[in-house]
């Protein structure tokens, strides 16, 4: 996402989520662009227009049931982040209890 490890540690959780969301939107736009180019190439070389897919979404669906492959990866990443965050909180609490 174009940031160093030091930048990552300086971000709040909200700022990180904004960066992840913008990164997700960028990737989605790249997929839309790729799909458009592939569909235009597919339609240009097609001999029988009756048999080709009616729309670009039938040719290469990106949004299936309102969720993309990219969204699934982001959700999985966020779940892993939450698990790691909870483990970190547990370790911090354990250290505080040892000190006290």
Look at residue 47 and tell me whether its pLDDT is greater than 80: no
The total of structural domains in the chain comes to: 1
Burial of 31: CB neighbours in 10 Å, binned 0-12, 13-18, 19+: middle
Interval 52-91: pLDDT, tens: 666 777 777 777 655 555 556 667 777 877 888 888 889 8
In contact, 47 and 13? CB cutoff 8 Å: no
Choose from 13-22, 38-47, 52-61 the range with maximum mean pLDDT. 13-22
Q: Domain range for residue 26?
A: 5-99
């Amino acid at each position: 996402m174009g940031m160093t490890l030091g930048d990552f540690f300086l971000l709040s959780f909200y700022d990180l989520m904004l960066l992840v969301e913008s990164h997700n939107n960028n990737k989605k736009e790249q997929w839309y662009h790729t799909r458009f180019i592939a569909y235009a190439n597919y339609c240009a070389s097609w001999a029988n227009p009756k048999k080709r897919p009616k729309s670009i979404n039938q040719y290469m669906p990106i949004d299936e049931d309102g969720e993309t492959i990219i969204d699934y990866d982001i959700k999985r990443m966020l779940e892993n982040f939450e698990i790691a965050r909870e483990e970190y909180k547990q370790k911090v609490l354990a250290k505080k209890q040892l000190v006290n």
